[in-house]
Amino acid sequence: MTGAIFGTRIIAAPMAGGTSTSRFVQAVHHAGGVGFLAAGYKGVAAMEAEIREVRSAGARFGMNLFVPDRAQLNPPAPVRAALEDYRRSLEPDARRYGVSLPELRLDDDDEWQGKVDALLADPVEFVSFTFGLPEQDEVRAFKRAGSMVIATVTSKAEALLAVERGADVVAVQHGSAGGHSGAFLAPGSAASPTHRTTAELVAEVRAAVGVPLVAAGGIMDSAGLDSVLAAGATAAQLGTAFVRSDESGARQLHKDALASPVFTDTRLTRAFTGRQARALGNSFARDHEDAPEGYPAIHHLTAPIRAAAAAAGDAERLNLWAGTGWRQAAAGPVSAIMAGLLAGSKLS
pLDDT at position 191: 42
**Residue 115 in contact with residue 65, Cβ under 8 Å?**
yes
Question: Per-residue confidence at 187, pLDDT binned at 50, 70, 90?
Answer: low
Average pLDDT over residues 248-260: 98
Average pLDDT over residues 205-231: 98
What's the rounded Cα separation, in Å, for the pair 269 and 298?
A: 12
pLDDT at position 23: 98
pLDDT at 270 over 90: yes
Question: Per-residue confidence at 347, pLDDT binned at 50, 70, 90?
Answer: confident
Question: Per-residue confidence at 199, pLDDT binned at 50, 70, 90?
Answer: very high
Q: What is the DSSP string of 174-217?
A: -TT-SEE----SSTTGGGS-SSSSHHHHHHHHHHH--S-EEEES
Average pLDDT over residues 157-177: 98
**Residue 60 in contact with residue 38, Cβ under 8 Å?**
no
Strands (E), the chain: 10-12, 34-38, 61-66, 126-130, 148-153, 169-173, 179-180, 213-216, 235-238, 266-269, 277-280
What lies within 8 Å, CB to CB, of 201 at 6+ separation is: 154, 155, 172, 174, 193, 195, 217
H-assigned helices in 231-323: 240-243, 252-258, 283-287, 297-312
What's the rounded Cα separation, in Å, for the pair 221 and 198?
A: 13
pLDDT at position 348: 78
pLDDT at 247 over 60: yes
Q: Please state the separation of Cα 185 from the chain's center in Å.
A: 17
Angle formed by the axes of helices 156-165 and 198-208, nearest 10°: 40
What lies within 8 Å, CB to CB, of 108 at 6+ separation is: 73, 296, 297, 300
Lowest average pLDDT, out of 51-60, 66-75, 236-245, goes to: 66-75
pLDDT at 2 over 60: no
Average pLDDT over residues 11-20: 98
Q: Output b/e per residue, 86-114; b: 16+ Cβ within 10 A.
A: bbeebeebbeebebebeebebebbbbbee
What's the rounded Cα separation, in Å, for the pair 114 and 7?
A: 30
What's the rounded Cα separation, in Å, for the pair 220 and 330?
A: 9
**Residue 258 in contact with residue 278, Cβ under 8 Å?**
no
Average pLDDT over residues 320-325: 98
Reduced to 3 states, what is the DSSP secondary structure of residue 74? coil
- The third-level CATH classification (topology) of the domain covering 1-68+109-255+325-348 is TIM Barrel (3.20.20)
Residues of the chain within CATH 3.20.20.70 domain(s) are 1-68+109-255+325-348
- Torsion sign, CA atoms 44, 49, 52, 58: negative
Please, what is the average pLDDT of the chain? Answer: 95
pLDDT at 312 over 90: yes
What's the rounded Cα separation, in Å, for the pair 317 and 310?
A: 8
pLDDT at 193 over 80: no
pLDDT at 256 over 60: yes
pLDDT at 57 over 60: yes
The tens digit of pLDDT for each residue in 113-162 reads: 999 999 999 999 999 999 999 999 999 999 999 999 999 999 999 999 99
State the DSSP code for 327. G
Rg of the chain (C-alpha set): 19
Reduced to 3 states, what is the DSSP secondary structure of residue 30? helix
What's the rounded Cα separation, in Å, for the pair 126 and 63?
A: 6
Question: Per-residue confidence at 213, pLDDT binned at 50, 70, 90?
Answer: very high
What's the rounded Cα separation, in Å, for the pair 95 and 100?
A: 8
**Residue 221 in contact with residue 328, Cβ under 8 Å?**
yes
Lowest average pLDDT, out of 225-229, 243-247, 344-348, goes to: 344-348
Average pLDDT over residues 101-117: 97
What's the rounded Cα separation, in Å, for the pair 43 and 18?
A: 13
pLDDT at position 190: 44
